[in-house]
Amino acid sequence: MKSATKISGLPALTVDLLQDSGLLMDNIFSSLWQQIGMKTILSRAGFTKRSGTPIHEVIYTLTLWLWLKKESICMFARESLQGAMGKDVLYDTMNREDLNWRKCHEQIAYKAVKALKPTGKKAYVVDDSIVQRFGKKMPGVSSHFDHTSGRHVMGQQVLTLGFSCEAGFVPLDSELFISQTKAHELHQPFQDGRSTVAKRYREAQQCTKPEMVRTMIQRALRADIDADYLLADGMVWYQTDDTYVPGHVVGCCAQNEEK
């Protein structure tokens, strides 16, 4: 008989924080959360909650779940939160269509870049990755050509934009790219076709990867995060319909070109 997976509980200080919002904890995660000013960032990004647990506490808990790499939200809530917050609250927040996660990420990235105090050459770095999925009804899944294996696979492809300098690297933006081949449809339509999530889903279906890269760079420039170069791995393949064109390291002054 297979024994149940043992789930380690959270540190006592973390549990206390989740149960008492007035208690400060001195571990790395909560200190960073406070230093960044996440409560203010969430408010500026339009994260609100009319009743129940304050939204910043819910987002803190979701971020903590990802940070601790727990198996599932259900198990995390049952075994680790010890009744401090129910799983339904976490699931409901993740399913909200109005939350602008990109705007929240943009503000965090801006603070991270400024904290690096970048000097010398600065570059935008573009990369894509494919996560193979096996669920037959999982939305956002389509067929992609995996250049590492040399074959088409069913999965989700994420295009990312990062900022690199001598002091370090900061992820700036990301887009889900859904190809037109064997794409899985949504289980049900969005409640509001004008919502943030609905708009991003349409972009994932309708935009090419070069168009996504251009838009992400424009957003970075508007956020006052500029760079001297745009770098892409020589093995990154940009798909337009059924044509695959290899990407190259591009020494373009993106800052001057876009401005």
> Residues 83, 208: one domain?
no
Domains contained in the chain, number:
2
Q: What number is the average pLDDT over the span 91-106?
A: 92
| pLDDT exceeds cutoff 90 at 227 | yes
Q: Residue 154 has what pLDDT?
A: 92
The answer to whether position 7 is within a domain reads: no
Residue 3 lies in a domain: no
- Mean pLDDT on 51-77: 81
Would you place residue 67 in the very low, low, confident or very high pLDDT band (cuts 50, 70, 90)? confident
CA distance 159 to 94: 21
Task: Please indicate, yes or no, if residue 149 is contained in any of the structural domains.
Answer: yes
Identify which has the larger pLDDT, 144 or 79. 144
Whether residue 235 is predicted with pLDDT greater than 80 in this model: the reply is: no
Q: Tokens 């708009």, residue?
A: 199
Report the distance separating Cα 186 and Cα 199, nearest Å: 14
Asked, for residue 102, whether it belongs to a domain, the answer is no
Give yes or no: residues 136 and 228 share one domain: yes
What pLDDT score was predicted for residue 165? 94
pLDDT confidence band for 2 (50 / 70 / 90): very low
CA 123 distance to own-chain centroid: 20
* Same domain for 242 and 199: yes
CA distance 175 to 152: 20
Query: Are 212 and 242 in the same domain?
Result: yes
Two tokens, residue 102: 């990109």
* 3-class secondary structure, 155: strand
Are residues 46 and 156 located together in one domain of the fold? no
Q: Are residues 17 and 49 in the same domain?
A: yes
Among the candidates 45, 61, 94, a domain finishes at 94
Residues 143 and 241 in one domain: yes
Asked if residue 254 belongs to a domain, the reply is: yes
Lowest mean pLDDT among 4-8, 72-76, 132-136: 4-8
For residue 79, give the nearest of 145, 7, 24, 17 by alpha carbon: 7
For residues 131 and 205, state if they share a domain: yes
The answer to whether residue 67 is domain-embedded is yes
Q: Does one domain contain both 240 and 139?
A: yes
Please tell me whether residues 242 and 165 are part of one structural domain.
Answer: yes
- The band of 251, judged by pLDDT with boundaries at 50, 70 and 90, is very low
Per the model's pLDDT, the better-predicted residue between 12 and 184 turns out to be 184
User: Does 60 map to a domain?
Assistant: yes
Domain enclosing residue 221, as ranges? 111-258
Does residue 134 sit in the same domain as residue 231? yes
The lowest-confidence range among 84-88, 102-106, 121-125, 184-188 is: 84-88
pLDDT mean over 83-99: 85
Among 83-97, 189-203, 227-241, whose mean pLDDT is lowest?
Answer: 227-241
* 37 shares its domain with 149: no
- Is residue 104 in a domain? no
SS3 sequence, 153-182?
EEEEEEEEEEEEECCEEEEEEEEEECCCCC
Average pLDDT value for the chain: 79
